[in-house]
Structure 1
Amino acid sequence: MNKLFYPAVFHRAEEGGFWVSFPDFPECFTEGDDMTRAYEMAVEAMGLALVSRKEEGEEIPSPTEIDKVDVEEGTLAIIEFDMLEYQKKHNSRAVKKTLSIPEWLNEEATAMGVNFSQVLQEALLSKLGINK
């Protein structure tokens, strides 16, 4: 679930710019002074909605098919959201983990000056198939 694509409806705001709504996230709205800024804000707003639902253990909805979106007086756009990139950007603080390894392995690695945190991070990235 790294890259997600959801429809969004861009509406012209009376005072200029655009406001954006999401058929799959009725609680989510944003706006921007122009189309570029509105799109950037839409990505961020959708990210907040997705992360919030994920943290609360709520269901992540499947994207509505574009031919089923009621556009009314707006313009349909597809918003691309990269969950992994969002998490890297917003959740990059270090988290302390306690783990156990055999004593002999610890002694060998310590003697060679191995950085345990770096090795664990590299191993996890490799195991998860994530390119840094």
Structure 2
Amino acid sequence: MKKVERYFYPAVFTYVEGQEIAVDFPDLHVATSGKDEEDALLSARELLGVVLAGMEEDGETIPQATPLHEVVLESNERAVLVDVYMPSIRLANINRAVHRTVTLPAWLNSAALEKNINFSQVLQEALKKQLNLC
């Protein structure tokens, strides 16, 4: 069966003066929060990905999302449609090594070998830094 690439679920953002923004996914019965709207949206997207990936992995039935216009709200709440791109979430859960061939000048290779540099570790650290993952 083909896996869904992108899910869209309504989240209810609840605003209370002096508190973090509460974020609830009524269809999934999970919640998170954020210090401001951007943080709340990022937290919501992360939670959505983790929950749905777990449900997929466990073979659970993923509930149909309620249409945004049907979400019942209080006066201090707003409905936000949150999406998550699952291929990247699924890949993030795979923590196996992948072999890559790299090309570098012979002098640099020699200097690194002389200092017992771990090429894999250096490449991983550089990629994480370049991708703003650390």
TM-score normalized with structure 2 length: 0.64
Match for residue 4 of structure 1 among 3, 7, 10: 7
Identity of aligned residues (%): 33
The equivalences for 1:32-43 within 5 A come to 32-43=34-45
The Cα shift of 1:41 comes to: 0.2
The Cα shift of 1:14 comes to: 4.6
The Cα shift of 1:40 comes to: 0.2
Match for residue 94 of structure 2 among 91, 94, 119: 91
* Partner of residue 110, structure 1: none
Equivalents in 1 of 2:58, 2:89: separation in Å? 17
Question: 8 Å contact 1:53–1:59 — kept in the other structure?
Answer: yes
* Partner of residue 26, structure 2: 23
Pick which of 67-76 and 79-88 moved more: 67-76
Equivalents in 1 of 2:91, 2:57: separation in Å? 16
Question: 8 Å contact 2:8–2:81 — kept in the other structure?
Answer: yes
Q: 1:91 to 1:71 in 2, by over 3 A?
A: farther
The Cα shift of 1:16 comes to: 2.5
What is the root-mean-square deviation in Å for CA atoms of aligned residues? Answer: 1.7
Unaligned regions of 5+ residues in structure 1, if any?
A: 96-132
Equivalents in 1 of 2:86, 2:63: separation in Å? 14
* Partner of residue 52, structure 1: 54
User: May I ask how many residue pairs the two structures share in their alignment?
Assistant: 94
Match for residue 69 of structure 2 among 38, 47, 67: 67
The Cα shift of 1:94 comes to: 3.8
Unaligned regions of 5+ residues in structure 2, if any?
A: 99-134
Question: 8 Å contact 1:17–1:35 — kept in the other structure?
Answer: no
Structure 1 letter corresponding to 2:51: A
Q: Deviation above 3 Å: which 4+ runs of structure 1?
A: none
